[in-house]
Amino acid sequence: MIHYINTNEKQRKDLRGKKNMMKILVLGDISRSLSCKYVSERLWKYRKDNGIDLVIVNGENSAEQNGIDRASADMLFSAGADVITTGNHAFKRYEAKTLFEEEKMLLRPANFPGMVPGEGTVLVNAAGMTVLVLNLLGVVMMEPLENPFFTIEKILTKYKGEYDIAVLDFHAEATSEKQALAHYLDGRITLFFGTHTHVATADECILPKGTAYITDIGMCGPDFSVLGIKPECIIEKMTTGLPVKFIPSTNKVTAHGIIVEVDKKTKKATSIKRITF
């Protein structure tokens, strides 16, 4: 089943008539409710001003504590996110199991065991293109889930012929795992972006066979924090080794992400650039 995104019929006609190019905006890990509110208040305008056709947001920590809940998912969807991806914190909140069953545009990593609620893939229609959006979790220095190389091979076989372009959020710790999987998929998917480390990397590029790539797109979260948390909490933990309550930073928020342009004829990415707002 193909899901139509947040554009109305008139907007879809306009997009079909005018553009040979589709534009995808991706925003990195939303760090707690302050950042969720910040992004939600600005996303529609940013989307409109930049002529964005499809918005993907990693919302795995968009809830008040961490994880994702109904309130933060609703806030992001109503602010203009078409698909929300997640990662290792997908099921941190008790209500997330129901949420993942109900929201088809909310993805959990596809390499969780099959009985886990929700899906790791969704087909969406944006700017007249059918886009396969995928979410996978790394296994290097992370939970021992199915090898993502094997999972994505199965998914691309299953959906063969059903999509124009494929886009992957690879939520992983190790740069080496991200780079290796990207080269393994080069030319077979249109966009590969990494999330989870919360710090944007400066290696955005088009790989030799045409896949747009970046190791990590960074977070939407408070400046001068440690991955969104007050530095003093993390310093205390790292100097004492004792359990410490992680208190979110209340510093000014910056949203980090990427905009990727895709040629609708060739179905290849033509540019990838880092953005902030």
> Which residues have a catalytic role annotated?
89
- At residue 224, the 3 state secondary structure works out as coil
We find the least distance from the C-beta atom of residue 14 to Fe ion, in angstroms, to be 36
From the list 140-148, 172-180, 188-196, 214-222, the region that binds Fe ion by CB under 5 A is: 188-196
Least CB distance from residue 260 to Fe ion, whole Å? 21
Among 88, 111, 211, 215, binds Fe ion (CB under 5 A): 88
Other Cβ atoms less than 10 A from the Cβ of 21: the count is 15
Kindly state the smallest distance separating residue 89's Cβ from Fe ion, in Å: 5
Query: CB under 5 A: which stretch of 67-75, 85-93, 199-207, 215-223 binds Fe ion?
Result: 85-93
The answer to whether 62 contacts Fe ion (rule: CB under 5 A) is no
State the Cα angle at 31 between 196 and 276, rounded to 5°: 85
Provide the 10 A C-beta neighbour count for residue 147: 12
Angle at 120 between CA 118 and CA 125, to 5 degrees: 105
76 φ, ψ (degrees, to nearest 5): -70, -40
DSSP 8-class letter at 249: P
Give the range of 43-51, 69-77, 80-88, 218-226 binding Fe ion by CB under 5 A.
Answer: 80-88
Does residue number 32 form part of the binding site for Fe ion (CB under 5 A)? no
87 is an interface residue for Fe ion by CB under 5 A: yes
- Whole-angstrom distance, CA of residue 79 vs CA of residue 24: 16
Asked if 196 is part of the footprint of Fe ion (rule: CB under 5 A), the reply reads yes
Please, which residue, 59 or 80, has the CB nearer to Fe ion?
59
Cα 146 to its chain centre, rounded Å, is 20
Q: Which residues bind Fe ion (CB under 5 A)?
A: 87-88, 196
